[in-house]
Amino acid sequence: MQFTAAQIAELLHGEVDGDPQVLVNDLAKIEEARDGTLTFLANPKYTEFIYTTRATIAIVAKDFHPARPTPKSLTLIRVADPRMAFTQLLERNYQLQYEKKGVEQPSFVSPKAKLGKNVYIGAFCYVGDGVVLGDGVKVFPNCFIGDNTRIGDGARIHAGVKIYHQSEIGARCVIHSGAVIGADGFGFVPDSEGVYEKMPQVGNVVLEEDVEVGANSTIDRATIGSTVIRKGTKLDNLVQVGHNAEVGMHNVIVAQAGIAGSTVVGDHNQIGGQVGIAGHLTVGSRVRIAAQSGIGSDIGDGRTVQGSPAFDKGPYDRSYVVFRKLPELQKRIDQLEKELAALRQRTGLDS
């Protein structure tokens, strides 16, 4: 889409310095801008680029006074805060990418499904019986939405997501490509001969509002009951949440972390990349777990832990200092043992 300088200035409550009818259709960094793009100048260290930029429009501060002429083709929009103004445009541009409506073909939408207002369903999607999509839900191409799944208002399901039956996705959730919601939990029981029999997984997955799930992450359905991710929690790419786990509110869980079945995680935690949390544990609230840590026991509120098995970060750091010196310490011990053996021999203690 194209916008004039006048339209952008009106949106940002700015003033046009130049041609109000000039058009732009993209955003760019000031040093990489080209004809037809809009850029901004907020950091003084980039001021030099304003005199050579190929951008069509630049957002600048109201009190910006060029030290020398800017390009004749450049129109300025003067605002109170250029960085905040550009952020507003980024947000608006981001929203425009998802302002699609209607059902593309070929797709299958069950006649028993209920679609809210302004729903978008991309090509090659499957929407099963009893599915309820709230107002403004966007389901991008090649998605599977299983029977009796409910997706709240404003949720966005990116291309290639698979959501199994009876899942509940809250308002404004975002699920990125390749994620699988509601696959069977890893439940197998050995018989008397050690042969593993599958335990049916008949529960579901519940994502509360404003949850974000990264690409290729997986959240398993519960054996009985629900696997729950509470409101505002953000999962990075390649995160695994096991069956019957409960993850609290406003957590951030970084890539390749895994939470085993039936573990309960509190609120406002920071869980680093490649962390492994064993099953049937309790992790409190406002806990920080450093990357690659292994959690094999409960963690109380407010702790910061690291290592595998993990323990408090202060002692871990001190222990790691010693660990790095182990080769040197080993040499010193070997030398002391030689000197002690020689001393014992000289003093006759070995006879």
Annotated active-site positions, please?
A: 243
Nearest Cα residue to 229 out of 237, 292, 221? 221
β-sheet bridge partners, residue 189:
197
Q: Are 78 and 15 in contact (CB under 8 A)?
A: yes
Secondary structure of residue 249 in the 3-state scheme: coil
Q: Classify the C-alpha dihedral 209-211-215-216 as positive or negative.
A: negative
State how far the Cα of 161 lies from the Cα of 328, in Å rounded to an integer.
52
Nearest Cα residue to 23 out of 38, 34, 40? 38
Structure tokens at 302: 């407010």
Q: Are 250 and 265 in contact (CB under 8 A)?
A: no
* Omega within 30 of 0 (cis) for the link into 106: yes
What angle separates helix 313-324 from helix 326-347, to the nearest 10 degrees? 60
Nearest Cα residue to 144 out of 167, 128, 130, 133? 128
Secondary structure of residue 204 in the 3-state scheme: strand
Secondary structure of residue 287 in the 3-state scheme: coil
Q: Are strands 23-24 and 3-4 parallel, antiparallel or unpaired?
A: antiparallel
Inter-CA distances, 102 with 143, 146, 148, 151, 163, Å: 15, 19, 21, 16, 20
State how far the Cα of 246 lies from the Cα of 261, in Å rounded to an integer.
9
The number of C-alpha atoms within 13 Å of 270 and in the hemisphere containing its C-beta is 8
State how far the Cα of 102 lies from the Cα of 124, in Å rounded to an integer.
13
